[in-house]
Amino acid sequence: MKDSKYITIEEAIRRFPEETQFNLRGWVYRERKSNKFIFIVLRDESDIIQCVIKKNKTPKLFEKAQDLTIESSIKIRGELREDSRAPTGYELGVTELKVVQIADPFPITEYQSIELLLENRHLWLRSRKIKAILKIRHTIVGAIHEFFRNRGYFEFDAPIFQPSMSEGGATLFKVDYFEDFVYLSQSWQLYAEAGIFSLGKIYNMGPTFRAEKSSTSRHLSEFWMAEMEAAWMELDEIIEVAKDEIRFIISEVINKNKKDLEILERDISILEKYVNAKYPTIKYAKALEILNNTYDMNVPWGKDLRTNEEKTLAEHFNVPVVVTHYPTEIMGFYKPPSEENPEEALCFDMIAPEGYCEIIGGSQRSLSIKNMKQRLEKEGEDPSKYEWYFDLRRYGSVPHSGYGVGVERVVSWICGLDNIKDAIPFPRTMDRKEP
Ligand code: 4AD
Ligand code: MG
């Protein structure tokens, strides 16, 4: 069997019934042996398929296949037929079998604790569930690139080693840097603000690090953020870009990943609703009014919205909701106070429904060196480290804005996951850095 003759299971089913003889290769996903038959469910990157070896028809193969264990790697040739009893509706009658490796007993069996699955993440990546998620993640990442490139944004890269913070000192990872130290990037943003004076509208997707000292189902210490920054744009404009981006991402997943969504048992009609819906934009003050008046929640002005409050708000609207004008006091130094009411900042979060909470954070950017210096000092930061950043306000300053999408947050939501850890191949959290 020449390598070029092998096709994927999905391709074989596509060619059927015009063709019926196929060469497939992959791994034993399940196996069941009796006196007369050996059933193997073969898996490859595309799908699974039931294969059968009959003792009376191919006694030599029947002997050879006795050794096969879960995850053994094999190459087979056989005749495809429809069979409604088989897991995916097709069965391959095996006529040739080459065993590539007999796998050791696989450490993952049917019912396993989440911890064991994480410890064996390098093996669990093969599961149908994680494979479906990874394929959806692939679509989402591609969609983000396509979205921005179609709109004339340039891809622009920022350093991962950074000399100072952008999102607060509490979640910085400090790393040795020769005789000195640096921090791992918390955001691409500050460097992007330099980039827009060259390229106008830019975007990026890159690894992002936060020393989050809480283990929740929504926090990773290493995650991917997809950010955009645009010269001349103001808050209301980037909010519309963000809404369009999310709708585009979801429509791409619906178009390209139906099978994967089915494997994850994700209700596609719910996702379709998000593609067509209008997403409301409300001010923080209005959000408090809803929470306190309709849901008796008692959130005082000036407090950030917590998980429970975000969940309630999103449930109230049942589609992604954008909340703007959070209290300036609790916002990052670069989020400008609004002119009408300096207590409120020109910023926004997008909150996803179904309990997935904040998926996007963004803002217009402050143009006042004085205001930013004061706020940095208040946070205990040395403003002199930000002189290069203040230069951007000194040489042709223009209004500009940007936001960041949490890629794993979006993957989790679209896939309907219980935990963000499954949205990335090898999750990193406060209590997990292996394998
Ligand atoms: O809201 P954040 O902190 O915003 C920024 O970093 C801005 N500088 C972005 C910008 O304006 N360019 O983070 C943006 C998004 C959040 O809304 C969330 O979706 C995600 O990044 N995120 C995390 N995702 C997983 N684990 C974490 N620990 C995350 N922290 C933030
Ligand atoms: Mg945020």
Residue 329 is assigned to a structural domain of this protein: yes
* Boundary residue ending a domain (69, 101, 133): 101
**Distance, CA 160 to ligand 2 centroid (Å)?**
19
For the Cβ of 237 lying below 6 angstroms from any atom of ligand 1, the answer is: no
pLDDT more than 70, % of the chain: 99
Whether residue 343 sits in one domain with residue 264? yes
Mutate to test the pocket of ligand 1, among 191, 208, 403 (most ligand atoms within 8 A of CB): 208
> What is the tally of structural domains in the chain?
2
| Whether residue 220 sits in one domain with residue 342 | yes
Q: Report pLDDT for 4.
A: 63
Region 299-321: mean pLDDT is 96
For the CA of 223, the nearest ligand: 1
Note whether 131 and 88 are same-domain residues.
no
Q: Is the pLDDT of residue 96 over 70?
A: yes
Separation of CA 420 and ligand 2 centre (Å):
16
- Residue 297 C-alpha to ligand 1 middle, in angstroms? 26
Task: Write the residue with the smallest CA distance to atom 24 of ligand 1.
Answer: 406
Checking if the pLDDT of 365 tops 60, the result is: yes
Whether residues 92 and 155 share a domain: the answer is no
432 part of a folded domain: no
> Are 134 and 80 part of one and the same domain?
no
Q: Give the atom of ligand 1 at the shortest distance from the alpha carbon of 228.
A: 12
Which range is least confidently modeled, 1-15, 125-139, 234-248?
1-15
Give the tens place of pLDDT for each residue, 128-166.
999 999 999 999 999 999 999 999 999 999 999 999 999
DSSP code at position 186: S
User: Rounded mean pLDDT of 223-249?
Assistant: 98
Distance 187 CA to ligand 1 centre (A): 8
Specify if 207 maps to a domain.
yes
Check whether 168 has a pLDDT greater than 80.
Answer: yes
- Residue whose Cα lies nearest atom 27 of ligand 1: it is 219
User: What pLDDT, in 10s, does the model give residues 190-229?
Assistant: 999 999 999 999 999 999 999 988 888 999 999 999 999 9
Let me know whether 123 and 94 are in one domain: no
Which residues are within 5 Å of ligand 2 (an ion), measured at CB? 361
Asked whether residue 156 falls in the same domain as residue 301, the answer is: yes
Ligand 1 atom nearest to CA at 220:
26
CATH number of domain containing 170: 3.30.930.10
CATH number of the domain to which 76 belongs:
2.40.50.140
Atom 18, ligand 1: which residue's CA is nearest?
Answer: 406
Nearest to 259 by CA among 89, 426, 93, 85: 89
Tens digits of residue pLDDT in 366-381: 999 999 999 999 999 9
Last residue of a domain, one of 74, 101, 128: 101
Q: Report if residue 285 sits inside a domain.
A: yes
Residues 85 and 138 grouped into a single domain = no
Identify the band that residue 109 occupies on the pLDDT scale cut at 50, 70 and 90: confident
| Average pLDDT, integer, range 309-316 | 96
* Whether 85 and 134 share a structural domain: no
Average pLDDT over all residues of the chain: 96
Span from the CA of 360 to the centroid of ligand 2 (angstroms): 7
This model's pTM is above 0.85: yes
Verify whether ligand 1 is closer than 6 Å to residue 147 (CB atom).
no
CB 194 within 8 A of CB 398: no
Give the pLDDT of residue 1: 52
Tokens encoding 6: 């092998």
Domain of residue 64, residue span: 3-101
Task: Return the pLDDT at 3.
Answer: 55
The atom number, within ligand 1, closest to the CA of 405 reads 15
Residue 97 domain flag: yes
**Is there a domain that residue 111 lies in?**
no
Question: 186 C-alpha to center of ligand 1: Å?
Answer: 8
Query: Using CA atoms in the order 280, 282, 287, 288, what is the torsion angle rounded to 10 degrees?
Result: -170
**Integer angstrom CA distances of residue 130 from 134, 379, 412, 423:** 6, 41, 12, 8
85 plus 137 within the same structural domain: no
**Residue 26 falls within a domain, yes or no?**
yes
Please check whether residues 136 and 224 belong to one and the same domain: yes
Whole-number pLDDT of residue 111: 82
CA angle 377, 383, 386 (to 5 degrees): 145
The bridge status of strand 281-283 relative to strand 321-324 is parallel
Q: Specify whether 289 is located in the same domain as 361.
A: yes
Instruction: Name which residue sits closest to atom 29 of ligand 1, judged by CA.
Output: 219
**pLDDT at res. 112:** 87
Domain boundary among 52, 69, 101: 101
Q: Which atom of ligand 1 is nearest to the CA of 361?
A: 1
Does the pLDDT of residue 100 top 80, yes or no? yes
Q: For the residues 255-280, what does the mean pLDDT come to?
A: 97
User: Does residue 107 lie in a domain region?
Assistant: no
Maximum CA extent, the chain = 86
Q: Is the CB of 212 under 6 A from ligand 1?
A: yes
- The 10 Å CB-count burial string (b at 16+, else e) for 148-174 is beeeebeebebeeebebbbbeeebbee
